């Protein structure tokens, strides 16, 4: 029960926040929830199972486009569920192809799949997606202010499902796969099945994240949802916060969104820096390099390790004094 | 028209081959997957663009400049970032180089903005006719120089003492260290060399391709496709892989329409990964 206690506190805080902050922070928090939620979904595959997918935008985009195409016929609620399901179903063939590869080859294959979908959605599937002209996405809620609640709901859903899975037997199987896939298989973990299971759940949540993102934008082009920027952002924030930790992606999203927003606004007046947007992304890249070099376990992971060490040290000291 | 398409494909492929070779050199020796390779190609393009724009140096004459600057940049990047985590899991290499790529892309966007820049060469629009085939002069020149770069690279790897050390390290780095090869120094040099080749590839591409900050992203993936196709780590394979990709690209674009070049390239990449992940000329994976 203890693990849900902190989560409930954060949830209550997030419910109360919009009553004391202004629209500006609500918008930032919206993106934190969306990308934090998708980061949590990525964490299941990339963090716990150790399969670094660099093309998660493919599920994000499939969800977004399915919703945009289905919702006018089915209504909003059913549209969201269907979009998540389509995205989850698409994970089966994608996982079947990519999981036959390991390590960096898997990562490369996921990039190729996402790029392939990006090109297909721009050109070959133009009939449905309208290509680069952009496709209108129906609103999820009438009042744009309420997107905050939709995103918060999505983040809570993602957190619930992912935490549930990660702290159950499945989570331990996934971690076993991450540490050593062959050994995991030897001790009768059905590794292909569990990897696919993690990917399907992850794709379902990522797809719904794509729906909320796209609905808030109002109209989408293939590059908005299938582009490498989305894939990279999701991976980076999970790594920054701590891959394979429960709160990592949320912490990562919080830091990255606020940092990039602060950078964009504060350096906008400095003309020698050029494009402030580019500067924000430059610092973003620098942050990744520094995190990988100096704390590869991420912020939450490093703190957790330090905490554990202190606790162990304390126990050792107590037992020695006895 | 078929012959024309084939020739176009080979010309394009020759330039792709050089991009792939730089990546293959680095991967073959130290098993580092450099996700920023395409961004270094872009840096090479911008170096030559700056030389052309501000110093009025013909891109083909700035090859030396871009080689030296890229080489030094490669060594600097290696020393500062990659060397401390050389023995970390390869996922860390992927993330680190992806972060580097993001830095390079946005640094060049801060300096040069997002405009697509091209150099206008006096001979850039001349074509040479030969057996009903038209070849753009700049393309041909780039292709020939690319051939020489490849030749020099092969000679360097096969004939010089350093090249022999590099090949020894790629076979077994701890044994090479025991045989008295300065592994640290050679790997630093190899990374510099790989980036320098990427820079030269950028210079050769500049007369025939626009440059903007995002161009590196597409080259990164392209470089991987080429190297995987040829066999991870095989320089010769990367050369053949580049030409094959060029051919596939130009044939499918011509017969199926513009965007099918990308589609078929990605599909073929996935097929190679699935069916023969060691590539056409690669050693089997350990």
ipTM: 0.86
- C-beta atoms of B99 and A97 within 8 A: no
Using one digit for the tens of pLDDT, what is the confidence trace for A207-238? 999 999 999 988 899 888 898 888 888 998 89
pLDDT given for residue B231 in this prediction: 79
A138: distance to nearest CA of chain B, Å? 29
Residues from chain A contacting residue B85 (CB–CB below 8 Å): 292-293, 296
pLDDT category at B216 given cuts 50, 70, 90 is: confident
Using an 8 Å CB-CB cutoff, list chain A residues near B106: 278-279, 281-282, 284-285
Q: How confident is the model at residue A200 (pLDDT cuts 50, 70, 90)?
A: very high
Whether residue A88 is predicted with pLDDT greater than 90 in this model: the reply is: yes
- The predicted pLDDT at position A268 comes to 60
Which pLDDT belongs to residue B229? 86
Tell me the two tokens of residue B115.
């405009």
DSSP string, A88-99: HHHHHHHHHHHT
> For chain B, what is the mean pLDDT?
86
Q: Where residue B5 falls among pLDDT bands split at 50, 70, 90?
A: confident
Would you state the torsion angle of the CA atoms of residues A276, A278, A283, A284, taken in this order, to the nearest 10 degrees? 120
What are the distances in angstroms from CA B96 to CA A178, A296, B183? 19, 10, 22
Residue A195, pLDDT > 90, answer yes
Q: Are B127 and B134 in contact (CB under 8 A)?
A: yes
pLDDT tens per residue, range A18-67? 777 777 888 888 999 999 999 999 999 998 998 989 899 999 999 999 99
Burial of A100 (0-12, 13-18, 19+ CB in 10 A): middle
* Contact flag B217-A235 (C-beta cutoff 8 Å): no
Q: Is B17 helix (H, G, I), strand (E, B) or coil?
A: helix
Mutate to test the interface with B, among A182, A282, A284 (most CBs of B within 10 A): A282
> What is the number of other CB atoms lying within 10 angstroms of the CB of residue A287?
21
Reduce the DSSP state of residue A136 to 3 states and report it.
Answer: strand
At A320 the pLDDT is 54
Q: Is the pLDDT of residue B280 over 50?
A: yes
Cβ–Cβ under 8 Å, residues A258 and B128 = no
pLDDT single digits (tens) A134-170: 888 888 888 888 888 899 999 999 999 999 999 899 9
Q: How far is C-alpha A191 from the chain's CA centre?
A: 23
Q: pLDDT band for position B66 (50/70/90)?
A: very high
pLDDT tens per residue across span A256-293: 888 888 877 776 666 666 677 788 888 888 988 998 88
pLDDT for the residue numbered B286: 33
Residue B285, pLDDT score: 43
Report the DSSP pairing between strands B133-136 and A135-136.
unpaired
pLDDT at B82 > cutoff 70:
yes
Contact list, A115 vs chain B (CB under 8 Å): 221, 262, 266
Q: Which of residues 205-244 of A touch B (CB under 8 A)?
A: 228, 232, 235-236, 239
Q: How far B259 CA lies from chain A's nearest CA (Å)?
A: 7
Nearest to A36 by CA among A237, A284, A216: A237
Mean per-residue pLDDT, A107-112:
89
pLDDT at res. B67: 93
Query: Comparing C-alpha atoms, which of A200, A90, A214, A228 is closest to residue A151?
Result: A214
If you average pLDDT over every residue of chain A, what do you get?
86
- Give residue B284's pLDDT: 46
Pick among A96, A116, A268 to test the B interface (most B CBs inside 10 A): A116
Contact indicator for A236, A39 with CB cutoff of 8 Å:
no
Distance (Å) of CA B171 to CA A171, B89, B234: 38, 19, 12
Phi and psi, residue A274, nearest 5°: 75, -140
Inter-chain touch A278–B269, beta carbons under 8 Å: no
Distance CA B261, CA B251 (A): 8
- Reduced to 3 states, what is the DSSP secondary structure of residue B117? strand
Contact flag A101-B221 (C-beta cutoff 8 Å): no
pLDDT above 90: residue A10: no
Which of A122, A232, A282 comes nearest B103 by C-beta?
A: A282
Q: Which of B192, B234, B228 is nearest to B83 (CA)?
A: B192
Among A151, A203, A164, A172, residue whose Cα is nearest residue A41: A203
Is there a contact between B99 and A120 if contact means CB atoms under 8 Å apart?
no
Q: Confirm if A197 and A19 have CB atoms less than 8 A apart.
A: no
**Per-residue pLDDT, B282:** 63
CA distance, residue B264 to nearest chain A CA (Å): 9
A185-to-A43, A188, B107 alpha-carbon distances in Å? 21, 5, 45
Q: What local confidence, expressed as pLDDT, does residue B33 receive?
A: 83
């Amino acid at each position: 029960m203890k693990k849900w206690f902190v989560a409930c506190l954060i949830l209550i805080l997030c419910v109360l926040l919009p009553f004391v902050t202004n629209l500006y922070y609500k918008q930032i928090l919206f993106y934190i929830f969306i990308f934090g939620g998708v980061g949590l979904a990525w964490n299941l595959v990339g963090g716990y199972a150790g399969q670094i997918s660099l093309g998660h935008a493919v599920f994000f985009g499939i969800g977004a486009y399915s919703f945009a195409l289905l919702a006018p016929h089915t209504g909003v609620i059913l549209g969201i569920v269907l979009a998540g399901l389509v995205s989850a179903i698409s994970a089966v063939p994608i996982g079947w192809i990519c999981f036959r590869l390991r390590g960096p080859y898997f990562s490369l294959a996921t990039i190729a799949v996402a790029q392939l979908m990006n090109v297909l959605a721009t050109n070959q599937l133009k009939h449905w997606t309208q290509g680069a002209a952009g496709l209108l996405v129906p609103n999820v809620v009438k009042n744009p202010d309420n997107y905050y609640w939709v995103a918060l709901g999505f983040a809570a859903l993602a957190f619930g499902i992912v935490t549930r899975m990660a702290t159950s037997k499945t989570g331990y199987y996934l971690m076993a796969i991450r540490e050593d896939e062959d050994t995991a298989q030897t001790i009768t973990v059905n590794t292909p099945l569990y990897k696919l299971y993690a990917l399907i759940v992850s794709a379902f949540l990522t797809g719904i994240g794509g729906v909320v993102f796209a609905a808030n934008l109002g109209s989408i082009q293939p590059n908005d949802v299938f582009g490498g920027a989305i894939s990279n952002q999701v991976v980076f924030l999970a790594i920054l916060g701590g891959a394979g930790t429960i709160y990592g992606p949320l912490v990562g999203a919080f830091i990255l969104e606020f940092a990039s927003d602060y950078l964009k606004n504060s350096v906008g007046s400095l003309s020698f820096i050029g494009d402030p947007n580019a500067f924000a992304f430059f610092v973003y890249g620098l942050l990744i390099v520094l995190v990988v070099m100096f704390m590869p376990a991420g912020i939450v992971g490093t703190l957790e390790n330090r905490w554990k060490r202190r606790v162990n040290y304390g126990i050792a000291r107590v037992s020695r004094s006895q | 028209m078929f012959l024309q398409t084939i020739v176009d494909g080979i010309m394009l492929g020759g330039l792709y081959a050089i991009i792939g070779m730089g990546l293959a050199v680095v991967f073959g020796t130290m098993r580092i997957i450099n996700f920023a390779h395409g961004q270094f190609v872009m840096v090479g393009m911008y170096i030559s663009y700056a030389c052309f724009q501000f110093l009025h140096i013909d891109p083909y004459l700035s090859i030396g400049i871009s080689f030296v600057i890229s080489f030094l940049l490669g060594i600097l990047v290696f020393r500062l970032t990659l060397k401390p985590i050389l023995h970390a899991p390869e996922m860390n290499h992927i993330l680190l180089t992806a972060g580097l790529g993001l830095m390079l892309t946005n640094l060049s966007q801060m300096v040069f903005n997002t405009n697509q820049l091209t150099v206008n060469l006096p001979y850039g629009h001349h074509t040479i006719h030969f057996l009903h085939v038209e070849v753009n002069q700049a393309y041909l020149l780039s292709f020939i120089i690319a051939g020489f770069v490849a030749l020099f690279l092969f000679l360097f790897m096969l004939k010089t003492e350093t090249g022999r050390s590099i090949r020894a390290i790629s076979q077994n780095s701890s044994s090479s260290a025991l045989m008295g090869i300065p592994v640290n120094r050679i790997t630093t040099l190899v990374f510099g060399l790989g980036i320098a080749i990427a820079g030269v590839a950028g210079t050769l591409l500049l007369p025939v391709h626009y440059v903007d900050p995002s161009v590196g992203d597409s080259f990164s993936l392209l470089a991987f496709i080429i190297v995987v196709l040829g066999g991870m780590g095989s320089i010769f394979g990367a050369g053949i892989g580049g030409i094959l990709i060029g051919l596939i690209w130009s044939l499918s674009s011509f017969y199926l329409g513009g965007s099918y070049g990308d589609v078929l390239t990605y599909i073929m990449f996935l097929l190679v990964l699935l069916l023969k992940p060691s590539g056409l000329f690669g050693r089997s994976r350990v």
